[in-house]
Amino acid sequence: MVVSVVAKLFSLSISWWLLCYPWTNVRGEYFSSVEQMRQLLKLEQGLIDNLDRYIKLHEQKIEFLHRQREWFGKELKEGLKQDVEYTSNPMSAFLLVNRLVNDWERIRVFMELDVGVKLQNNTEMPTSEDVVGVAEGLARLQDMYQLNTKDMASGKLLGRKIGRQLKTAECYEIGNKLTTATNYRYAVSWLREALRLWTSESPGISKVEIMNSLSYALSQQGEYEEALELTKKVLKMQPDNQRALKSKEPLEKWIVYKQEYGLPPPVPDADYKNYPSLCRGDYQRSNKEIAKLRCRYEHKRTMFLRIAPLKMEELSHDPFIVVYHEVLHDKEIAMVLDIAKPLLQRSMVGDDVSKKISKTRTSNNGWLDDVMHPIVRRITRRTEDMTDLAMSAAEQLQVGNYGVGGHYLPHHDYAVPEEGKEAYPAVGKGNRIATVMYYLSDVAIGGATVFPELGVSVFPRKGSAIFWYNLHANGTIDSRTLHGACPVFVGSKWVANKWIHEYGQEFRRPCQVDQNA
């Protein structure tokens, strides 16, 4: 690692400087979007270019920097071969963000020691929040897809070799970041792996550091006995270790308390029924459930479809859920993405009054109005043909991109306002009667849209769209439309949502007394 080498070289009091503009560590968020993560590869390329110019000026004194440049360049080369897979792979994504937040920062400090020029960078740098965000995405994937820490550290995911063996210090960093995120369960597993990999030749980290961190994570899980055992081992190795000395007595007291009173029951996880098994593809509907479902050409909804019918696959009759295949072409998708990318911001949850950023939804999105481009208007017209619903009551097209382990926990698209208040007052067109979601990319692994109450799962297929009603025929909410976006394992998931509201649909979908009519 860079740490120990830099520490030794600092003491030489080298009078070097670096290139031109001050380094600015601006707050930026990258982990919530693979598209944003891809930009980090370009950022790292720029940093390497600047480092090259510095090397030419000081070749006689930069043997250390040559070695670091070779290492950074090797990692970057691997990333540029398949940038989407590299930045969506939780292991390589963590290493990339950690390099930019920590290793490059150490290089910057080293190069500015008694120098005169600074490392040029005009791009927002990722922050420690991004490192923690990627680590959380990694743990989310482990939990959802039941992944083994040892296999992940070796670069294996679901039997595929998609990365290199992680170093001891890298496993330690992941464990520490998960501790910061209070995800102690997976922090323990990564710190155990760091301890298993540690040897006296492991650079950048001591065995004592790993043991102290593991002891703390275990104590937060209520495993006080093992935590105390580790602390005692640390004190045998280093009798004056302050962290271990401060931990020993509290751990002994917690063990006594645990023996007398036990531990409080753990907080139960939210029950989303089949959500995990549907995401993994484990749950399958019975033959009886799918026997009446058909694939056919839809040509009755509008006059236009009589000359250009759509390929429709039925997923559920009640509630009505279908997939339309090949409704967007690659060129159309490319145009939409070109418009949307500059507009991406962190996705929020909640209604118009109480929108906020939440860990239940890790993605970026941008909104496209019909007036922005003909392609947006074309998609709106196509949505009307698919649904036979009036677009005068539709929201703008929302384009979204999911990050590392990006997901959206099960939720409903309709609102449940307080009595006497209107749903989505900022829109002013009633509740969301229906949803159309276009898939703008394929996803190598993961990223399915699932309906836990119905046992329905739809895996992304570029150019297709899923359509469903959120309300019964009488206008009441249909709770069975609970749906979620599964974590993206490998790949970049792009979607576009069109939410359609009630007003103006009186003659398109007349209200019925019977909700099942």
What band does 515 get if pLDDT is binned at 50, 70 and 90?
A: low
The residues, any chain, with a CB within 8 Å of residue 307's CB and separated by 6 or more, are: none
Report the C-alpha gap between 318 and 469 in whole angstroms. 10
271 vs 450: which has the higher pLDDT: 450
Class of domain 128-261: mainly alpha
Q: Residue 465 has what DSSP assignment?
A: E
Long-range contacts of 144-148 (CB under 8 A, 24+ apart): 144/276, 144/279, 144/280, 144/407, 144/486, 144/487, 145/279, 145/280, 145/446, 145/487, 145/489, 146/280
Q: What is the DSSP letter of 444?
A: S
| Structure-block tokens of residue 420 | 């006497």
pLDDT at 7: 43
Q: In which element (H, E) is residue 109 found?
A: helix 104-111
Residues 475 and 326 sit within 8 Å (Cβ to Cβ): no
Question: Judging by beta carbons within 10 Å of its beta carbon (0-12, 13-18, 19+), is residue 201 exposed, middle or buried?
Answer: exposed
CB 114 within 8 A of CB 15: yes
Q: How confident is the model at residue 21 (pLDDT cuts 50, 70, 90)?
A: very low
pLDDT at position 19: 40
**Joined tokens for residue 251:** 């751990």
Residue with more model confidence, 4 or 436: 436
Look at the block and give the residue holding tokens 């650079």: 203
Whole-prediction pTM: 0.82
Residue 156 is predicted with a pLDDT of 84
Residue 58's alpha-carbon distances to 46, 65, 107, 108, 133, in angstroms, are 19, 10, 15, 15, 37
pLDDT score of 482 more than 90: yes
For residue 89, pLDDT beyond 50 = yes
Interatomic CA distance for residues 265 and 324, integer angstroms: 46
**Range of lowest pLDDT (39-53, 135-149, 373-387, 443-457):** 39-53
* Domain spans in the chain, listed from the N-terminal domain onward: 30-112, 128-261, 286-501
- The residue length of the chain stands at 517
Residue 195 has pLDDT above 90, yes or no: yes
* Chosen CATH of 286-501 out of 2.60.40.10, 2.60.120.620, 2.30.29.30, 3.50.50.100: 2.60.120.620
Q: Give the H/E segment covering residue 515.
A: none
Write the pLDDT tens digit of every residue in 365-381: 999 999 999 999 999 99
CB atoms within 10 A of CB 367: 14
- Residue 238 has φ and ψ, to the nearest 5°, of -135, 90
DSSP-derived 3-state class of residue 66: helix
Residue 8 has pLDDT above 70, yes or no: no
pLDDT of residue 353: 58
Tell me the sheet residues that pair with 397. Answer: 368
Token pair for 231: 């602390």
**Per-residue buried b or exposed e for 229-266, using 16+ beta carbons within 10 Å of the residue's own CB:** ebbeebbeeeeebebbeebbeebeebeeeeeeeeeeee
Question: At 283, which amino acid appears?
Answer: Y
